[in-house]
Amino acid sequence: MTANAKGMFVDTTLCTGCKACQVACKQWNELPMEDEAAVREHRAFLATSYDNTGHLSSTNWRHVKFIEQFSEDRTDARWLMMSDSCKHCEQAGCLEVCPTGALYRTQFGSVDIHQDVCIGCRYCVGACPFGVIDYNGRTGRVNKCILCQDRMETGDGTACAKSCPTSSLTYGRVEDLKAMAAARVRQLHAQGKTDAYVYGWDLGNSGVITQGPNKGQVVKDMEVVGGLNVFYLLMDQPSVYGLPSAPQLPQRNMTPSAGVALISAAVLGVTGLAAFRRRRMEPAMRGASPPQAPQAVS
């Protein structure tokens, strides 16, 4: 990990779902509406709790998720919220596949995009295990949260964290944030909220879910893809928040895939050679006489 890496700790227990972060991101980064026509034509209402933007995209670098967990009689009732963005992975799938160097690791340990270099090949889009990075049809390049690179350079921290009224988002040194997260998990456990655990780093906590459909299941701090510089405190299984429970680098398939291709190619070569040796004649052509007229097929 880059010494002094900067990142964010997302404490979902403090998120009120106000979306200030989402708007602050758009304002600072001058991002347009995702689909104005859809709003004007009344196609934008999603009827999924209070979420009408649905996902991260090239124009929504931050997205607040709303998860309603209510038992039929409402005795078990919980409304989880989580503000999501690029995780600035220690091992970043996007960065690993980028064929141009457009994606790069910054001096702050985050993953930024050189817009001048990106060719819009979208390979990174498929490579990110979290579905973060997205193709921008307006520019022909990809976009995602860049951890406010320009603000970090001036020492200002991220716009979204700055705007978060409840400190659900905290910007800082990843090492400090980890200590803060560990303390917070311990505090919550002490209050009986044993659901709390960290997604991104293994800080050694484990607990049991107390509410919702996964009640009783064990949860443990988890380090994923080498650690996330933007990491989360969750209260339920990652899948509940739409996060992969075991994200992986795309490169896990590279050698085996190339290997299978190589073997297949070898078999093809042999097959080809054999074909030119021992031919299977066309039945119609077996006779000496030339074929009769109609093969009018094209």
Partner 1 sequence: MPTYVIEPHWANWMLSLEMFVAGLAAGIFFFIALANTTGRKEDREVGAILGFFPAPLMLIAAILLTVDLGEPTRFLNLIFTNPAAAERPGPFFLNPSSPMNYGTYVILVFGALTVIPFLDALRHTGRLPFGHGIVERLAHDPVGMFICAVFALATGSYSGVLLNVTNQPVWSDTYIQGGLYVVFSALGGFAAAGIAADRMRARETAGAVRTGLMGITLLAGVLVAVFVANLVALGVAQPLIGTTTAFVAPAFWIGAVGLAILYPLVVTTTGIRLQLARVNVSSLAVVGTLALLGVFAFRWSILHSALAAVAH
Partner 2 sequence: MANSDWIIFMGSNMAECHPVGFKWPMKAKARGATLIHVDPRFTRTSAMCDLYVPIRAGTDIVFLGGLINYIIENKKYFLEYMINYTNAATLINANFKDTEDNDGFFSGYNAQTRTYDNSTWQYQRKPAPARKPEAPAGPPGQSLKGANIAELIANRIPGQPLEDRTLNSPNTVLSILTRHYARYTPEMVERITGTPKELFLKVAQIITENSGRDKTGVFTYAVGWTQHTTGVQLIRTAGLIQLLLGNIGRPGGGIKALRGHAQVQGATDISTLYNAHPGYLNTPSARRNHDTLRDYILTETEPTSFWSNRPAYFISQMKAWFGDAATADNDYGYDWLPKITGDHSHLPNFVEMSEGKIKGMILTGQNPATSINSTFQRGAMRKLEWLVVLDLYETESAAFWKKIAGSTPEDVKTEVFFMPSAHIAEKDGSMTQTSRMIQWHDKAADPPGQARSDLYFWYALGKRLKAKYASSTNKRDLAIKNMTLDYDPTPAEVAEWKHKDEPSAFKILREINGYDVKTGNVLNSFASLTADGNTAAGAWIYTGVLQLVSGQTVNRGRMLPGKNDGWVSPNWGWAWPANRKQLYNRASADPDGDPWSERKKFTYWDATAKTWKNDSGDGIDFAPTKAPGTAANPTGTGIAFHSGRDPFLLKTDGKGWLFAPAGTVDGPLPTHYEPWESPVKNALYKQDRNPIAKIWDVKGNKYNEFGGVQFPHVITTYRLTEHHLSGAMTRWLPWLAELMPDLFVEIPPELAEEKGIKNGDYVTVTTERGATEARALVTRRLRPFKIDGKTVHQIGMPWHWGYMGIATGDVTNNITSLVADPNVTIHEAKAFTADIRKGRAR
Binding at 6: pick from partner 1, ligand SF4, partner 2, none (beta carbon under 5-8 Å per type): none
**217 touching ligand SF4, by CB under 6 A:** no
**43 touching partner 1, by CB under 8 A:** no
Helices (H), the chain: 20-28, 36-40, 93-97, 123-127, 149-153, 159-163, 174-190, 254-277, 283-286
Residue with tokens 């996330």: 228
CA 42/CA 261 separation, integer angstroms? 48
Per-residue contact flags (x/-) with partner 1 for residues 70 to 109, judged by CB under 8 A: -----------------------x--xxxxxxx-xx----
**159 touching ligand SF4, by CB under 6 A:** yes
**162 touching partner 2, by CB under 8 A:** no
**152 touching ligand SF4, by CB under 6 A:** no
Q: Which is nearer to partner 2, 81 or 240 (CB)?
A: 81
Per-residue contact flags (x/-) with partner 1 for residues 103 to 142, judged by CB under 8 A: -xx--------x-xxxxxxxx-xxxxxxxx-xx-x--x--
CA 246/CA 185 separation, integer angstroms? 21
**120 touching ligand SF4, by CB under 6 A:** yes
Q: Which of 1, 4, 33, 186 binds partner 2 (CB under 8 A)?
A: 33
**Residue 30 contacts by C-beta under 8 Å, 6 or more apart in sequence?**
none
**79 touching partner 2, by CB under 8 A:** yes
Candidate segments 69-77, 140-148, 217-225, 226-234, binder of partner 2 by CB under 8 A: 69-77
**260 touching partner 1, by CB under 8 A:** yes
Candidate segments 78-86, 108-116, 174-182, 274-282, binder of partner 2 by CB under 8 A: 78-86
Q: Which is nearer to partner 2, 72 or 116 (CB)?
A: 72
**Residue 131 contacts by C-beta under 8 Å, 6 or more apart in sequence?**
55, 56
Cβ atoms of residues 223 and 202 within 8 Å:
yes
Cβ atoms of residues 103 and 244 within 8 Å:
no
**174 touching ligand SF4, by CB under 6 A:** no
**56 touching ligand SF4, by CB under 6 A:** no
**233 touching ligand SF4, by CB under 6 A:** no
Q: Give the Å distances, CA to CA, from 274 to 80, 117, 268.
A: 63, 47, 10
DSSP per residue, 44-99: ----BTTBSS-S--SS-SSEEEEEEEE-TTSSSEEEEEEEE----BSS-HHHHH-S
Candidate segments 13-21, 75-83, 210-218, 284-292, binder of partner 1 by CB under 8 A: 284-292
Q: Which is nearer to partner 2, 62 or 87 (CB)?
A: 62
The single-letter DSSP state of residue 289 is S
Cβ atoms of residues 248 and 96 within 8 Å:
no
Assign 27 to helix, strand or coil.
helix
Q: Which of 8, 10, 21, 81 binds partner 2 (CB under 8 A)?
A: 81
Q: Is the dihedral of CA 244, 249, 252, 255 positive or negative?
A: positive
Q: Which residues bind ligand SF4 (CB under 6 A)?
A: 15-21, 24-25, 28-29, 61-62, 64, 83, 85-89, 92-95, 97-98, 100, 102-103, 111, 113, 118-124, 128, 130, 132-133, 141-142, 144-148, 158-160, 163-164, 166, 168-169
